[in-house]
A and B are shown apart, each in its own frame.
Chain A
Amino acid sequence: MAEFVMPSLGADMSAGTLQAWLKQPGDAVERGEIVAVVHTDKADVEVEVFTAGVIERLLVEPGTEVPVGTPLALIREPGAAATPAPAPTAPAPAPAAAVAPPVPPAAPAAPAKPQPHLLISPSARQLAAELGVDPTTVTGTGPGGRVQRKDVEAAAAAAKAAPGPAAPPAAAPTPAPAPPAAAPAPTPAEERNAAMRRAISAAMTRSKREIPHFYLGQTIDMSRALAWLGQENLRRPVTERMLHGALLLKAVAIALREVPELNAVWEGDTVVRKDDVNVGVAIALRGGGLVAPAIHRTDELSLDELMHAFRDLVSRARSWSLRSSEMTDPTITVTSLGERGVESVFGVIFPPQVAIVGFGTLVERPWITEGQILPCPVVTASLSADHRVTDGHRASAFLAAVDRLLQEPEEL
Chain B
Amino acid sequence: MTPDDLQSAVLTALSDVAPEADTATLRFDLDLRDQVDMDSMDSLNFLIAVHEQLHVDIPEADWARLHTLDDLVAYLQPKVA
Q: Are the CB atoms of A284 and B39 closer together than 8 Å?
A: yes
Residue A286 interfacial (CB < 8 Å): yes
Complex CA–CA separation, A314 to B18 (angstroms): 13
| Cβ-neighbour of B41 out of A149, A230, A233, A314 (below 8 A) | A314
| Cβ-neighbour of A239 out of B18, B39, B41, B51 (below 8 A) | B51
How many positions in chain B have a CB within 8 Å of any CB in the partner chain? Answer: 16
Q: Are the CB atoms of A241 and B60 closer together than 8 Å?
A: yes
Residue B20 interfacial (CB < 8 Å): yes
| Cβ-neighbour of B20 out of A237, A245, A286, A314 (below 8 A) | A286
Give B70 Cβ to nearest chain A Cβ, in Å: 22
Give A335 Cβ to nearest chain B Cβ, in Å: 13
Complex CA–CA separation, A243 to B39 (angstroms): 11
Mask of B6-42 contacts with A, CB within 8 angstroms, 1/0: 0000000000001110000000000000000101110
Given A234-B59, A237-B57, A238-B58: A286 and B44 interface contact (C-beta under 8 Å): no
Task: State the majority secondary structure of interface residues on A.
Answer: helix
**Chain A, Cβ-Cβ closest to B40:** A243
Residue A339 interfacial (CB < 8 Å): yes
Q: Are the CB atoms of A233 and B45 closer together than 8 Å?
A: no
Complex CA–CA separation, A239 to B48 (angstroms): 6
* Size class of the contact patch on chain A: 10 to 19
**Chain B, Cβ-Cβ closest to A339:** B39
Complex CA–CA separation, A287 to B37 (angstroms): 10
Give B60 Cβ to nearest chain A Cβ, in Å: 6
**Chain A, Cβ-Cβ closest to B43:** A243
Residue B69 interfacial (CB < 8 Å): no
Q: Are the CB atoms of A230 and B60 closer together than 8 Å?
A: yes
Residue B76 interfacial (CB < 8 Å): no
Complex CA–CA separation, A315 to B60 (angstroms): 21
Q: Could you name 13 residue pairs across A and B whose Cβ atoms are closer than 8 Å?
A: A149-B19, A237-B51, A238-B47, A238-B48, A238-B51, A241-B44, A243-B41, A243-B44, A245-B40, A286-B37, A287-B20, A311-B44, A314-B41
Binding site for B on A (CB under 8 A): 149, 230, 233-234, 237-239, 241, 243, 245, 284, 286-287, 310-311, 314-315, 339
